[in-house]
Amino acid sequence: MLESRTYHCPYCGEENEALVDRSLPEQSYIEDCSVCCRPITLQVTCEPQIRLIAKRDDE
């Protein structure tokens, strides 16, 4: 099941949206900011609730 979550870009601060797959308890992937196009590392945990952390690629 996919759920939408918003987060702020760690580079430019703009709000972005990510689709989170709740069938995976933990996941990590890289997505480009829709505004500044810089790579953001997203770390997601889904148990007990969805927690999404957006980090700069150089952190």
Alpha carbons 59 and 46: distance in angstroms, whole number: 22
State the total domains in the chain: 1
Rounded (5°) CA angle 22-44-55: 155
pLDDT at 13: 97
Tens-binned pLDDT, residue by residue, of the chain (59 aa): 899 999 999 999 999 999 999 999 999 999 999 999 999 999 999 988 999 999 997 87
DSSP code of 23? T
Q: What are phi and psi of 32, to 5 degrees?
A: -80, 145
pLDDT at 48: 87
22 lies in which domain range? 2-56
The share of the chain scoring above pLDDT 90, in percent, equals 83
